[in-house]
Amino acid sequence: MRVIYFLYCWLVFVPLMAIATVTAGLLCALLIPFLPAAQVANLTAVPWSRLGLILSGVDTRFDGREHIQPGQSYVIVANHLSQFDIWVLYGYLGVDFRWVMKHQLRKVPVIGICCEWLGHIFINREDPEQAIASLNEARGRLVNGTSVLFFPEGTRSRDGQLKPFKKGAFKMAQDLQLPVLPLTITGTHEILPAGSLSLRPGSVQVTVHAPLPAIGNSDAELLALKERCQTLIAAPLGSGYPEPLV
């Protein structure tokens, strides 16, 4: 079965997704001058993500959707296990968000330019001033239910374990007084681990935790928000973090 699936991936999945990517990119280019970015994303990036999951044999389940309030903007934070994380969230979260991504992704053919057109946020972590400027520019887009998505570990986990969180997401939440929406993703590491081309079908579970208010503006309050969020996200992973206090 592994041999059959390997052949399917390279002879069917990869060519079909290459065609789908170019098609979605062309449609994005045609629509973006005339429609809001959120609507263009719903017509291009969302079906593209869902198609990728269907063709790769990935089943996605969400728990806790009741915690998402329609029309509310959030700073969304999630653990990062695989390139499939974006397909899962873009395809099925049901929230209009702008993804904070490393600037190198701007160079990816089709995907990079489409992400720029749709208003996603490229940051250069090696240039703190540029990164801060990019985040400051993005703040004006977080209205009428538009959210921003961070992977606060900064990169994909290569062993499936949760890594320490960086402060950027929580600083933005604190500055804008937006609630933080923590998400735990499980299963994508087994489907496509970081640094691997060995794709496997499987199931993905996304746990949507109750939003956390960004209270105060001190460093101590920021640290407390970051630690509580990391504890919440870690709990479904069974990674040894203590249960969050109520």
HEC assignment per residue over the chain = CHHHHHHHHHHHHHHHHHHHHHHHHHHHHHHCCCCCHHHHHHHCHHHHHHHHHHHCCEEEEEECHHHCCCCCCCEEEECCCCCHHHHHHHHHCCCCEEEEEEHHHHHCCCHHHHHHHCCCEEECCCCHHHHHHHHHHHHHHCCCCCEEEECCCCCCCCCCCCCCCCCHHHHHHHHHCCCEEEEEEECHHHHCCCCCCCCCCEEEEEEECCCECCCCCCHHHHHHHHHHHHHHHHHHHCCCCCCCCC
Q: Is residue 37 part of a domain?
A: no
Q: Is residue 130 part of a domain?
A: yes
Q: Is residue 49 part of a domain?
A: no
pLDDT at 128: 65
Q: Is residue 91 part of a domain?
A: yes
Q: Say which CATH number the domain at 214 has.
A: 3.40.1130.10
Q: Work out how many domains the chain is built from and give that number.
A: 1
Flag whether pLDDT at 239 surpasses 90: no
Q: Is residue 246 part of a domain?
A: no
Flag whether pLDDT at 96 surpasses 50: yes
Instruction: Compute the average pLDDT of residues 226-234.
Output: 95
pLDDT at 123: 85
Q: Is residue 230 part of a domain?
A: yes
Flag whether pLDDT at 62 surpasses 70: yes
pTM of the model: 0.90
Report the share of the chain in percent with pLDDT over 90.
Answer: 67
Q: Is residue 71 part of a domain?
A: yes
Q: Is residue 13 part of a domain?
A: no
Which residue segment(s) compose the domain that 145 sits in? 59-237
The per-residue pLDDT of the chain, averaged, comes to: 89
pLDDT, tens digit, 9 for 90 and up, residues 154-206: 888 888 789 999 998 999 999 889 999 999 999 999 998 777 777 889 999 99
